[in-house]
Chains A and B, each alone.
Chain A
Amino acid sequence: MTSGMAAVTSGRPILRARDVHKSFGDNEVLKGIDLDVFASEVVAILGPSGSGKSTLLRCFNQLERIDRGFVEVDGEQIGYRLSGGRLAPLGVRAVAAQRSKMGMVFQSFNLYPHMTVLQNVIEAPVGVHRIPRREAIATATDLIARVGLSDKLNAYPRQLSGGQQQRVAIARALAIRPKVLLFDEPTSALDPELVGEVLTTMRDLASQGLTMIVVTHEIGFAREAADRVVFMDGGHIVEQGRPDDVLVSPRHPRTRAFLSRFI
């Protein structure tokens, strides 16, 4: 089923998912996902609503437990440890440490409303990564400038527009120097005129060599910024490959049907 792995496939994958299954009760949402993501690669995940895209990202970040298969991040299996032929679940501490390698950007921003922009961005570096406060503030100030919000350093999230909040959320995810950045429909909750500023920020990051997995409905962004497009449907990866191939001449009828809605 997986075809066209010809896109940027150099070196060791940063993220390796094999035969990932996930059910909620009787509802099998992921039905055997195999995916490799390489360093500096930008992977766009497309697919109809309910196809399991969010669940897949949540499994990568251990917000959901998978039922079968495994996921490796940076050469380390997530959630479990293999030693002496026995696979043992990790404790809370180790899971937290693994999660701290991934930055997540949510559809609904999820900024901490009781903290200023700066406090939002330094929270994980100071509290989880034990970076000295002064240094974390300097880094955070740079990152906030990079997303164009230097004048909002001490504003509270509720005082910002949706687009500004999402850019802060991106700065917050960058602040932990993640191995992989996960985006779950980062522009879906935004007013149309605010989508552009967030996509611009994400294009910048893509061009700077960050490894990104982006669930999105923005076909334009996928075409310009992604190295590879993955199309999901009904809990399967139906088709993947270079944006020009998958988006311009999709092979699978489901992909064709999905894309036809955007033209």
Chain B
Amino acid sequence: MTADTPSHSPQTATGDAFDRPDDSLRNVAGAYRPIPFSRLALWAVVLLVAADFSAVVATNDNFGWPVVAEYFFSPIVLDGLFVTIWLAVVSMALGVVLGLPIAIARMSQDRLAQSLSWLFVWFFRGTPLLVQLILWYNLSFLFPSISLSIPFGPTLASWNTNDIITPVTAAIVGLALNEAAYMAEIIRGGLLSVDRGQMETAESFGMRPMRALWRIVIPQAMRSIVPPTGNQFISMIKATSLVSVIAMADLLYSVQSIYNRTFETIPMLFVAVLWYLLITSILSAVQARIERHYARGDRQIPQAAAKDRAATEQEAAG
């Protein structure tokens, strides 16, 4: 604004405010919008290349698509798929369930809890998963029997290790403990991301610490826990392929058992790849939904909150 600008009164109609000759032309609402030729060209090129590549892949006999189609739903593959999925789900669930108390222990004031949880994370995160699986599978070699006893005192119960450790239990224990170490760190990061004042507020209203964690802190921490947990789950789906070394027939193992017989290695690997991609796509979609749920209360996403809100609204009205 320059000194010669006449002092103006509040304008009601916007048109009146454009009081110099060029002013109405300067209104950005009427600005020229160039057609983005270069973007359109880029799109065209990318689509063309993608179409061409798809055509090449689809018509290349070396990929063996008929074989892929033949075995995609074969019972052996589906059995392997089932093993992969339930092993991943069970191990992941156990990993989260164990990881939460470990995260809380690491954040507690108690030195003993702190040290033990630190030791757990240090060991299970610091050694290769493959080695852990083999160790669990061969536990009977280290400890022929497992007993429950008072330290340096009498034994209460005893089992033969080989009766307990089967490929299934070794796989679950190995995957779950390893996962728990990673989840503990992810959850701890999430809990740390929540303002300390939230815990204090909840406690100052008489909530006990565990309830305050559950109702106030964890729901807020979920925003930063969910995305890396999604990553972990997807890694877990693929990590289950390691259990083939301890003779569990997961998806990859089943596919291998077929191509060892038929020598159709590439098509059979594509069967596995397509299934892995399908599972991870579904997981990504689920993750996106969960993230939207925990984003409620954010200014930017009012519609995400609508469902959650409707519930209390009804209660308030009823």
Contacts and interface: CB of A to CB of B under 8 A. Distances in A.
A115 B309 CA distance: 9
B203 interface: yes
Interface in B290-318: 294, 296-299, 302, 305, 309, 312-313, 315-316
Interface stretch (B29-37, B165-173, B207-215, B253-261): B207-215
Interface in B217-266: 219-220
B206 interface: yes
A93 B210 CA distance: 11
Contacts of A134: 315
Interface stretch (A43-51, A150-158, A240-248): A150-158
Interface string A108-152: 101011111011000110011100011001000100000000000
B153 interface: no
Nearest to B222: A114
A106 B196 CA distance: 13
B206 A118 contact: no
Given A96-B206, A96-B208, A114-B220, A123 B215 contact: yes
Nearest to B316: A137
B197 A141 contact: no
Contact of A118 (B204, B207, B215, B316): B316
Contacts of A108: 197
A176 B316 contact: no
Contact of A158 (B297, B313, B316): B297
A255 interface: no
A97 B203 CA distance: 10
Nearest to A123: B215
Nearest to A111: B201
A165 interface: no
Contacts of B201: 104, 106, 110, 112
Interface in B114-162: none
A78 interface: no
Contacts, number: 91
A73 to B, nearest CB: 12
Contacts of B195: 110
A124 B206 contact: yes
A61 B206 CA distance: 10
A102 B205 CA distance: 7
Contacts of B315: 133-134, 137
Contacts of A127: 207, 211, 215
Contact of B205 (A114, A118, A157, A176): A176
B70 interface: no
Contacts of A9: none
Nearest to A125: B205
Contact of B297 (A96, A102, A123, A157): A157
Given A113-B220, A114-B297, A157-B297, A97 B206 contact: yes
A154 B297 contact: no
Contacts of A154: 309, 312-313, 316
Contact of A96 (B207, B296, B305, B313): B207
Given A106-B197, A134-B315, A156 B207 contact: no
9 pairs of A and B residues whose beta carbons are closest in the complex? A100-B206, A156-B297, A110-B201, A124-B205, A99-B206, A128-B206, A104-B204, A110-B197, A114-B297
Interface of A: 61, 63, 92-93, 96-104, 106, 108, 110, 112-116, 118-119, 123-124, 127-129, 133-134, 137, 141, 153-154, 156-159, 172, 176
10 contacts: A99-B204, A102-B204, A110-B195, A116-B312, A128-B207, A129-B206, A137-B312, A156-B296, A156-B297, A158-B298
